[in-house]
A and B are shown apart, each in its own frame.
Chain A
Amino acid sequence: MNNGASHTVLTAPLRELGRAGLFLLTAFSRMRFGPRQLAEILRQVYFAGVRSLVIIVICGFFVGLVLTLQTYDTLTRFGAADAVSTVLALSLFRELGPVLAALLFAGRAGTSITAEIGLMRATEQLDALDLMAIDPMERIVQPRLLAGLIALPALVLIFNLTAIVGGIFFAVFLMGSDPISFWANMQSSVELMRDFGGGMFKSVCFGFVAAWLAVWFGWSARPTSEGVALATTQTVIATAIAVLVLDFILSAFML
């Protein structure tokens, strides 16, 4: 490092990562479970999960539709239209379900968590909690982290289900495929642990990362309106990158 500027450029992201990691460690080291904490987690599951339901269901349905439309068209050229449910289920369970739901989750729930905590910081509510001897880590951060961990896998399950409903709607009702062979082909090619379980494992990881980044960017936001706006944008960008990179790494390990 010959001058200060390049030093900062190189080390600033690393320091940021280190601070985010330490933040996570602190949050977990002060983990406490009581009935009040559980109620708060459930409240956050409502805000992160139930409130994302509409976008998840609509997007899931249309992803299922378009995926079936495209594969149906391609596979009929090879006379293999029967395999459409296999392609649908495998690509959904293994990749599209967890990844798309995580990206939608970042846009819908992640941003609102960041903005909420960022505004709490800007309006000094976090300091007020501290003054009242209420640990904001325990009261604000932990429930949101755990809620992300619970809500995203739940949303992925619902996303997968509605996408399959969309696929059935297209293949069976519009194209006249046989529903029994649709299910049978899906069943014969999807393995419970490897395909379905692997996808669910991914969704737990994505939920954790999405919640962590959302809480962290809100927590570390500059206490101004620009700061909160920037933090919200950063949450979406960082979550999208983290989810896609992590997706590749996890897929490479699991295959």
Chain B
Amino acid sequence: MKSSHQIELTAGIFLLLAIAALVFLALHATDRGVVSGESYEVTARFSNVGGLTPRATVSMGGVAIGMVDAIELDPETFEARVTMRISREYDNLPDDTSASILTSGILGDQYVGLEPGGSPEVLQDGDRILITSSAMVLEQLISRYMFNSEEGQGEE
């Protein structure tokens, strides 16, 4: 039988071990998002976001620079308003940057791809990206191909 001093010491070590496991798992195994430091918000409107979900990646040139924060439906225009957080590291994006919803691979996740424009002005916190192109919806592509006339259905 151990003395009560030793028991308390062992219990203390045990709890310390658990806290270490907590810190390690919380920091090392979970997603804190691409944006961990300073970030700023921009919004973009799409007529159709397809399968885009919050926390999806925002990338430019294939490099992840931020993530989707929220997706809401604008009650007046009935467009999807996508709020994105972009890392402060990339605060020099031109304000005519365009956004499109793309898919990584055939069955991969959807993400927002940004394409830089040429304007000397830069995007500020809270700005809106004006040039957008919606997600490709497979059914619409097929029906457009088959009937060749089905234009403007929910598109711009």
Q: In the assembly, what is the distance between CA of A150 and CA of B19, in Å?
A: 11
B17, B21, B29 pick with most chain A CB within 10 angstroms:
B29
Q: In the assembly, what is the distance between CA of A187 and CA of B18, in Å?
A: 20
Q: In the complex, which range does the number of interface residues on chain A fall in?
A: 20 to 34
Interface 1/0s, chain A 30-51, versus B by CB < 8 A? 0000000001001101100110
A164 within 8 Å of B by Cβ? yes
Interface 1/0s, chain B 17-44, versus A by CB < 8 A? 1100110111011111000000000000
A46 in contact with B14 given A187-B30, A189-B31, A192-B26 (CB within 8 Å): yes
B18 nearest CB across to chain A (Å): 3
Interface contact B31-A192, CB-CB below 8 Å: yes
A247 within 8 Å of B by Cβ? no
> Which of A39, A43, A150, A188 makes the CB contact (< 8 A) with B31?
A188
Q: In the complex, which range does the number of interface residues on chain B fall in?
A: 20 to 34
B130 within 8 Å of A by Cβ? no
Which stretch (A15-23, A126-134, A153-161, A210-218) binds chain B? A153-161
Residues in chain B near residue A150, CB distance under 8 A:
15
B138 within 8 Å of A by Cβ? no
Residues in chain B near residue A248, CB distance under 8 A:
none
- Secondary structure at the B interface, as helix, strand, loop or mixed, is helix
> Which of B10, B29, B31 makes the CB contact (< 8 A) with A46?
B10
A154 in contact with B26 given A50-B10, A189-B31, A192-B31 (CB within 8 Å): no
A192 in contact with B14 given A157-B22, A158-B21 (CB within 8 Å): no
Interface contact B21-A39, CB-CB below 8 Å: no
Q: In the assembly, what is the distance between CA of A241 and CA of B22, in Å?
A: 27
Interface contact A191-B8, CB-CB below 8 Å: no
Q: In the assembly, what is the distance between CA of A80 and CA of B133, in Å?
A: 30
Interface contact B17-A158, CB-CB below 8 Å: yes
Interface contact A42-B31, CB-CB below 8 Å: no
B137 within 8 Å of A by Cβ? no
Q: In the assembly, what is the distance between CA of A192 and CA of B55, in Å?
A: 12
Nearest B-chain residue to A162, judged by Cβ: B21
A46 in contact with B7 given A53-B14, A158-B18, A190-B31 (CB within 8 Å): yes
Residues in chain A near residue B31, CB distance under 8 A:
187-192
B142 within 8 Å of A by Cβ? no
A104 nearest CB across to chain B (Å): 15
User: Which B positions have Cβ atoms within 8 angstroms of A?
Assistant: 4, 7-8, 10-12, 14-15, 17-18, 21-22, 24-26, 28-32, 55
8 examples of A-B residue contacts, CB within 8 angstroms: A43-B4, A45-B11, A46-B7, A150-B15, A157-B22, A187-B32, A192-B26, A192-B31
Q: Which 7 A-B pairs have the closest CB atoms?
A: A154-B18, A46-B11, A157-B21, A192-B30, A161-B21, A190-B30, A45-B11
